[in-house]
A and B are shown apart, each in its own frame.
Chain A
């Protein structure tokens, strides 16, 4: 069974940093692009970033460029999102998703709250 489990969310002050992790099981994640999508409370979905199979190609939504970094460790079947200089507008549930264009599996999400 394919599973994606996110961790690392929590409460952080504006300007702070967090590192999200996503651990995959039930498939070989090295064979897939991986993606982070977020959803602010009561709002819609927003694509954040994705990374190719070997980590050599990454893409970001403009609002996080220069602040967020997506990476992966295929030996650990894991994908990460390093988030720096967080603002209140980054408050959201962050989902880890399989694939780079359409997302056939999603984790249950991890909540990031940016507040003073």
Chain B
């Protein structure tokens, strides 16, 4: 099974600062990676697929990069509405697996 590991578990960021979240796959997954944002009490929201393609309606401050086993989600200038938990997810073969999540909180 291809395990997805996210780091850090918690990221404390001030509004306006840059946030960098990491996701590592235990085996190469090419660019078959998605990122989701989840706020308390809400369903997750798709942000990025194909490692770097923003989903419709996602602000340009969100960017994804990487391929193979190392991936990064960058929020260029954190806004108040960006706080929450972010999950990476691999796809392309079954089982589909999510990382454990990174909680982005206000510093």
Contacts and interface: CB of A to CB of B under 8 A. Distances in A.
Given A44-B87, A45-B44, A109-B43, A104 B55 contact: yes
A93 B95 CA distance: 19
Nearest to A95: B43
A101 B44 CA distance: 15
Contacts, number: 47
B75 interface: no
Contacts of A44: 87, 98-101
Given A44-B100, A44-B101, A104 B95 contact: no
Interface residues of B, number: 23
Interface in B56-107: 87, 89, 91-92, 94-101
A102 B34 contact: yes
A107 B92 contact: no
Interface of B: 32, 34, 36, 38, 42-46, 49, 55, 87, 89, 91-92, 94-101
